[in-house]
């Protein structure tokens, strides 16, 4: 199965996304798509899916190709149960079996497949969408920011799942460990062009550096030729009459060359005075109703602290930030804040930006003149340094990509010249290049930083301490995030070993093996029979007696299927203990 782009171009309003590109990908490729925010990564996925159409050229897909797509912000019919949402795309030729649905939902943290996704959080919706795309048969799986809103355990589970994935995979993600471990190819979008690199993320970094170096040499040579030709063309009118026509045509063609200058993001923050007293929390506790977030937690923030805050979704990480900013109060304990604190808070909620406001006005709300180490600069200049050209500064925020909105949020936070930074999931939707700039800024920042994140690479690179929300408490450790995860994994393995010591170290008993094999045949057959009865009952709407008989059979059969399915999962759990 192949997808081929032939001389394909695409433009979004005035922004050129693809400029006459040609390339091919197959269902054996696992591709990570990268590029600066706004270069069209999500648009590339939509072109492959046929949601968007090129303005010229062709996109050719093998006949019968099945593609599953995970959107950044999935939406569902809230009148349907989780089970029905996933089963919606089940077909006779490509069926989804009931036990597969229940199994994947269970692995992704849903214990009841009959519930409806009413009032689901962003993380719950993302997990449901992942369950759906993974269990639905396809030839190529397309994932747009799959790790956003997932906790650490699920990110690791998904990573291992995709490493074993046998079909094609195309994904946009900022998770560099994910790109390193899962991908065998990288696709870079840059200045309307598409570059494919064989290898994982580390290989891509080296190959890209070589490409830019080669292009820089070629550009320098071309500019030198153009300068010579320009001087030749500028000679006297008399000399012009004798000029070689072919040389004139070459000069005109060279003059049309557009040079892609690689601009770097630059920002240096003026540090504001930070007193000796920063933040001190003593025996702090917080709960919402019966749900305890943490209790008896104490810490004193130091000037050089870069603290990563990790834990499951809903554990209370964002609530801790709200307490530090005075938006929430402790249930008990004492919080003391230094008088000189100037907090810069980076929220994970894009909804806080008015979509109708212009880009430059959003920054001017904070201040129109910003102090940097290079002196005072205008908000327009600051935006240009963060890759917002002047023509983009006067467009409305709603025209920006998700990643550009995140970069705009970041600019506003830094423009305040804060002396303490609170980042709530700062890496979500940011491109890899902006991430590196942010990481360098944080490590050079003259004040403490606290960041909530699930990004392992980001946390490993910048943090010198972790706060871990776990079991209604907050643990502190000097381990790196990867070291902490390794220890947690080792503890889990040790626990499983102790559990398995109670089981005979031979195969699963023959009786239970045979029962499991029998259920694997029986359940699909019973489900087919149930489908047939449901079809039959629709045809018997005028025969009341027959209708009642069929309904009784449906009810009895449904109970049998539920009992056998529950037993099937019990046997699967027993089987795993022997593996």
CATH number at 279-482: 3.40.50.300
In a 3-state reduction of DSSP, which class is residue 31?
Answer: strand
Alpha-carbon 121 to chain mean position: 16
What is the helix (H) or strand (E) element at residue 142, kind and residue range? strand 140-144
> Residue 347 has what pLDDT?
86
Kindly report, residue by residue over 321-370, the tens digit of the pLDDT.
Answer: 999 998 999 999 999 999 888 898 988 776 668 889 999 999 998 888 88
In a 3-state reduction of DSSP, which class is residue 496?
Answer: helix
CA distance readout (Å), 297 to 284, 320, 331: 5, 11, 12
Residues 168-178, mean pLDDT to the nearest whole number = 93
Per DSSP, the residues of 362-404 read HHHTT-SEEEETTEEEEHHHHHHHTT--HHHHTSBGGGS-HHH
Residue 423 to residue 463: CA distance in whole angstroms: 13
Alpha-carbon 273 to chain mean position: 36
Q: Contact at 8 Å (CB) between 125 and 52?
A: no
Residues pairing with 477 in the sheet: 466
Residue 357 to residue 481: CA distance in whole angstroms: 38
In a 13 Å sphere around the CA of 34, the CA atoms on its Cβ side amount to 26
> Residue 275 has what pLDDT?
78
Residue 199 to residue 32: CA distance in whole angstroms: 10
How many secondary structure helices (H) and strands (E) does the chain include?
Answer: 19, 20
Residues 6+ apart with CB under 8 A from 455: 147, 174, 175, 427
In a 3-state reduction of DSSP, which class is residue 524?
Answer: helix
> Residue 503 has what pLDDT?
43
- What architecture (CATH level 2) is domain 2-65+139-205? 3-Layer(aba) Sandwich (3.40)
Q: Which two tokens stand for residue 80?
A: 């349907």
Which residue carries 């070993």 as its tokens? Answer: 497
Nearest by Cα to 48 from 65, 73, 28: 65
Integer Rg of the chain from CA: 29
- Confidence grade of residue 258 (pLDDT, cut at 50, 70, 90): low
> Residue 498 has what pLDDT?
46
When mean pLDDT is compared across 49-63, 271-285, 395-409, 497-511, the lowest value belongs to: 497-511
Position 159 pLDDT exceeds 90: yes
Nearest by Cα to 32 from 285, 208, 265, 290: 208
> Residue 504 has what pLDDT?
44
Position 202 pLDDT exceeds 70: yes
Position 396 pLDDT exceeds 70: yes
Position 310 pLDDT exceeds 90: yes
> Residue 85 has what pLDDT?
94
Residue 230 to residue 255: CA distance in whole angstroms: 9
Kindly report, residue by residue over 3-46, the tens digit of the pLDDT.
Answer: 999 999 998 876 788 999 999 999 999 999 998 888 889 999 99
- Residue 534 phi, psi (nearest 5): -65, -35
CA distance readout (Å), 141 to 174, 211, 349: 17, 29, 27
Which is it for strands 279-288 and 332-337: parallel, antiparallel or unpaired?
Answer: antiparallel
Please state, as a whole number, how many other Cβ atoms lie within 10 Å of the Cβ of residue 544: 9
In a 13 Å sphere around the CA of 448, the CA atoms on its Cβ side amount to 20
Per DSSP, the residues of 187-202 read EEEETTEEEEEES-HH
What is the helix (H) or strand (E) element at residue 301, kind and residue range? none
- Residue 560 phi, psi (nearest 5): -60, -45
Which residue carries 């699963």 as its tokens? Answer: 508
Cα end-to-end distance, the chain, whole Å? 35
Residue 18 to residue 22: CA distance in whole angstroms: 10
Kindly report, residue by residue over 447-474, the tens digit of the pLDDT.
Answer: 899 999 989 999 999 999 999 999 899 9
Residues 231-239, mean pLDDT to the nearest whole number = 58
Rounded to the nearest 10°, the torsion over CA 124, 321, 144, 482 is: -100
Residue 109 to residue 126: CA distance in whole angstroms: 12
When mean pLDDT is compared across 84-88, 479-483, 489-493, the lowest value belongs to: 489-493
Kindly report, residue by residue over 92-120, the tens digit of the pLDDT.
Answer: 888 888 888 988 999 898 988 999 999 88
Write down how long the chain is.
579
Residues 539-565, mean pLDDT to the nearest whole number = 80
Residues pairing with 375 in the sheet: 372
- Confidence grade of residue 575 (pLDDT, cut at 50, 70, 90): confident
Residue 254 to residue 492: CA distance in whole angstroms: 64
Q: Contact at 8 Å (CB) between 415 and 366?
A: yes
Question: Which carries the bigger pLDDT value, residue 135 or residue 221?
Answer: 135
- Confidence grade of residue 185 (pLDDT, cut at 50, 70, 90): very high
Q: Contact at 8 Å (CB) between 449 and 442?
A: yes
Residues 498-502, mean pLDDT to the nearest whole number = 47
Per DSSP, the residues of 237-250 read HHHHTTS-HHHHHH
pTM over 0.85: no
In a 13 Å sphere around the CA of 191, the CA atoms on its Cβ side amount to 8
């Amino acid at each position: 199965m192949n997808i081929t782009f032939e001389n394909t171009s695409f433009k979004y309003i005035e922004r050129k996304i693809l400029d006459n590109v040609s390339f091919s990908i197959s269902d054996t490729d696992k591709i990570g798509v990268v590029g600066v925010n706004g270069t069209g990564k999500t648009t590339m996925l939509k072109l492959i899916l046929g949601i968007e159409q090129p303005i010229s050229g062709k996109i050719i897909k093998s006949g019968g190709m099945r593609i599953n797509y995970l959107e950044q912000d999935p939406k569902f019919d809230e009148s349907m149960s989780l089970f029905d949402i996933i089963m919606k795309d089940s077909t006779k030729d490509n069926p989804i079996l009931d036990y597969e649905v229940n199994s994947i939902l269970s692995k992704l943290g849903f214990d009841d497949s009959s519930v409806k996704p009413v009032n689901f959080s962003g993380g719950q919706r993302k997990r449901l969408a992942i369950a759906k795309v993974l269990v639905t048969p396809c030839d190529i799986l397309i994932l747009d920011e799959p790790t956003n809103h997932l906790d650490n355990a699920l990110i690791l589970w998904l990573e291992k799942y995709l490493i074993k994935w046998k079909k094609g995979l195309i994904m946009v993600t900022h998770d560099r460990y994910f790109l390193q471990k899962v991908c065998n190819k990288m696709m870079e979008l840059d200045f309307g062009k598409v570059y494919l690199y064989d290898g994982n993320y580390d290989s891509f970094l080296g190959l890209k550096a070589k490409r830019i170096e080669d292009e820089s040499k070629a550009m320098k040579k071309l500019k030198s030729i153009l300068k010579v030709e320009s001087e030749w063309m500028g000679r006297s009118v008399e000399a012009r009459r004798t000029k070689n026509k072919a040389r004139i045509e070459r000069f005109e063609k060279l003059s049309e060359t557009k040079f892609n200058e690689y601009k770097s993001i630059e920002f240096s923050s003026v540090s504001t005075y930070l007193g000796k007293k920063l933040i001190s929390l003593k025996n702090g506790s917080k709960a919402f109703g019966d749900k305890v977030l943490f209790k008896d937690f104490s810490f004193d923030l130091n000037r050089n602290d870069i603290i990563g805050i990790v834990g499951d979704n809903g554990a209370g990480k964002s609530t801790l930030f709200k307490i530090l900013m005075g938006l929430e109060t402790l249930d008990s304990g004492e919080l003391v804040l230094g008088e000189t604190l100037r907090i810069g808070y980076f929220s994970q909620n894009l909804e806080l930006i008015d979509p109708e406001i212009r880009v430059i006005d959003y920054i001017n709300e904070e201040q129109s003149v910003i102090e940097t180490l290079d002196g005072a600069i205008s908000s327009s200049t600051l935006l240009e340094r963060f890759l917002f050209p002047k023509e983009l500064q006067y467009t409305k925020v709603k025209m920006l990509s998700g990643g550009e909105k995140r970069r705009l949020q970041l600019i506003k936070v830094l423009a305040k010249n804060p002396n303490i930074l609170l980042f709530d999931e700062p890496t979500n939707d940011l491109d890899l290049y902006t991430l590196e700039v942010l990481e360098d800024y944080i490590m050079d920042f003259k004040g403490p930083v606290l960041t909530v994140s699930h990004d392992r690479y980001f946390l490993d690179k910048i943090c010198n301490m972790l706060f871990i929300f776990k079991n209604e408490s907050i643990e502190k450790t000097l381990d790196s995030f990867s070291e902490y995860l390794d220890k947690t994994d080792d503890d889990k393995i040790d626990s499983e070993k102790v559990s398995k010591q109670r089981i005979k170290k031979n195969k699963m008993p023959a009786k239970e093996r045979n029962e499991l094999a029998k259920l694997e045949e029986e359940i699909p057959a019973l489900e087919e029979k149930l489908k047939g009865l449901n079809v039959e009952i629709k045809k018997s709407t005028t025969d009341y007696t027959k209708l009642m008989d069929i309904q009784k059979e449906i009810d009895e059969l449904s109970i049998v299927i539920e009992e056998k399915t529950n037993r099937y999962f019990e046997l699967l759990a027993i089987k795993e203990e022997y593996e």
